[in-house]
Amino acid sequence: MFDGVSLKGWDGPTDVWRVENGEIAAHSTTANPSGSTYLIWEGSQPRNFEFKTEIKLEGEGSNSGIQFRATKLGEVAGQKHSKWDLRGYQADFDLLNANTGALIECCAGPRRGVPPRPDRAFRGQVVRAAISDAEKPSLLAIIADPEQLKTYINVGGWNQIHLIARGRTMMYSINGHLMSVFVDDHPTMFVDRGFLALQFEGRGDIAVRFRNVWLKNLP
């Protein structure tokens, strides 16, 4: 998905996203914050797939993730970078590991479109989404203690993300350790295909880097 020298096949704000030293990089500073931004893969809108990449965060306030099966929300006049805003599932990753390893629904929906659901599988959990507004998500199983799983994350260094989405089941691993599983059985909110994107946000002087970006479509 990445040729190591250009952003061919990707679309996003070029004042944030660029290629540096054979890596996809995004930067934000206190003086010139990027806000929440996306670099969208234009090659396909995958349905069932495996996705792998290596990620490295820089700066305490840095936050990133992989957006998938996502929908474009459309550009809003006067809102910087809104052309690339998405709403969809996300494999979350942040430098402080507050939500690293979680599978969530994200991100711009509260301001427009359909608000993301609060349903999520935190690190160490297997969760089934609520199937109606009157119900709550179901905790199906515990994978491992979340603090134990945190020890497998290389803070400030390179980490391999491995994401599998097949039907209604999504699995998120970091450095070969399963972090979370989310099963979306909601009859109308479940999305079976859509855009895949790299996400970046946070505060302060921060950056994210990606390398070895790989996608395999599944039956």
Q: Write out the two tokens for 124.
A: 């160490």
pLDDT on residue 12:
97
Report whether 213 contacts 4 (CB < 8 A).
no
Q: Domain 10-217 adopts which CATH fold?
A: Jelly Rolls (2.60.120)
Q: Cβ atoms within 10 A of the Cβ of 189, count?
A: 15
- Find, among 88, 118, 70, 91, the residue nearest to 173 by Cα: 91
Counting every residue written for the chain, the total comes to 219
Place of tokens 């290629």: 19
Percent of the chain residues topping a pLDDT of 90: 89
Query: Do 35 and 81 meet the contact criterion of CB atoms below 8 Å apart?
Result: yes
Q: What is the DSSP letter of 48?
A: S
Tokens read off for 78? 């006067």
| Domain boundaries, given as residue ranges, for the chain | 10-217
Is it the case that residue 113 has pLDDT exceeding 90? no
Whose CA is closest to 207, among 3, 24, 11?
24
Which residue did the predictor score with more confidence, 54 or 109?
54
Return the pLDDT at 186.
96
How far apart CA 115 and CA 130 sit, in angstroms, is 15
Residue with the larger pLDDT of the pair 115 and 63: 63
Helix (H) or strand (E) holding 149: helix 146-150
Dihedral (Cα; 77, 106, 153, 181), 10-degree rounding: -160
